[in-house]
Amino acid sequence: MVRKLDVWQTPWDEFDGYLFDIDGTLINCTDAVHYFAFCDALKQLSGMPLTLEGVTAHGNTDVGILRDALKLAGIPEDEWRPRLPTTRDTMCEFVEAREDELCVTLLPAVHVVLQHLTTCNATLGLATGNLKRIGQAKLRRAGILDYFSVGGWSDQFEDRTDVFRGAVAQMHQARSTNATICILGDTPADILAAHANRLPVIAVATGVYSREQLLRHKPELCLNSFEDLFV
Ligand SMILES: [Mg+2]
């Protein structure tokens, strides 16, 4: 049986383009390299040691996480905002210098999905809250970076909806403005950002959110893992 997306009644593998979230959707990272990159960046921007305690990281963007942590610490925006571009670069350098320490595992059936969609002639892209160089380092480490030719990253955007809009524009450039696009993500934020861009979304419960939690936001298809696509 081919899994179809609700309402659209489109088989899951018949879209022109696919935009994948990274963490919790394609891979799991069990190291703390990205976390320590945030701590390093926060120290640069605030001049004091800060952590991500009390900040929502899942479904947020890298720049949004920095903004929320600084806001929580009461650091005025006009003090850190001008230095953000430099800190973004330093954060990327921090992760790239420790790429060998990244402990990345592919989530179930990810390789099969990527290979299958490539065989279907789909264009594969990313729509993620990661900064570009950090997301690329993770995917390189996972051995799947070469599957993707389009990417929406958080370098220029703090809001996930804007990240997705940028990724969609790239997908339209790569295919055509009529290209059908499907989003794949593991958080309510992915579902909301997809719908804000009028796109269907396949939600997958391989991150921190359960299938029941994701279903509340009405994704067009909701899976326990990508393995469900092949049963
Ligand atoms: Mg995610």
Centre of ligand 1 from the C-alpha of residue 189, in Å:
9
Centre of ligand 1 from the C-alpha of residue 185, in Å:
6
Centre of ligand 1 from the C-alpha of residue 25, in Å:
6
Rounded Cα–Cα distance for residues 136 and 96 (Å): 9
8 has a pLDDT exceeding 70: no
pLDDT digits (tens, 9 = 90+) for 87-146: 999 999 999 999 999 999 999 999 999 999 999 999 999 999 999 999 999 999 999 999
6 has a pLDDT exceeding 70: no
Centre of ligand 1 from the C-alpha of residue 159, in Å:
14
Mean pLDDT in residue range 162-183: 96
Centre of ligand 1 from the C-alpha of residue 148, in Å:
17
pLDDT at 9: 74
pLDDT at 38: 96
1 has a pLDDT exceeding 70: no
Mean pLDDT in residue range 175-182: 95
Centre of ligand 1 from the C-alpha of residue 206, in Å:
9
pLDDT at 78: 96
Provide the pLDDT confidence category of residue 3 given band limits of 50, 70 and 90.
Answer: confident
Centre of ligand 1 from the C-alpha of residue 188, in Å:
9
pLDDT digits (tens, 9 = 90+) for 51-79: 999 999 988 999 999 999 999 999 999 99
Centre of ligand 1 from the C-alpha of residue 81, in Å:
25
Centre of ligand 1 from the C-alpha of residue 24, in Å:
5
pLDDT at 5: 76
CATH topology of domain 4-30+103-230: Rossmann fold (3.40.50)
Centre of ligand 1 from the C-alpha of residue 225, in Å:
13
Centre of ligand 1 from the C-alpha of residue 151, in Å:
15
Centre of ligand 1 from the C-alpha of residue 114, in Å:
17
pLDDT at 24: 97
Centre of ligand 1 from the C-alpha of residue 129, in Å:
8
Centre of ligand 1 from the C-alpha of residue 67, in Å:
18
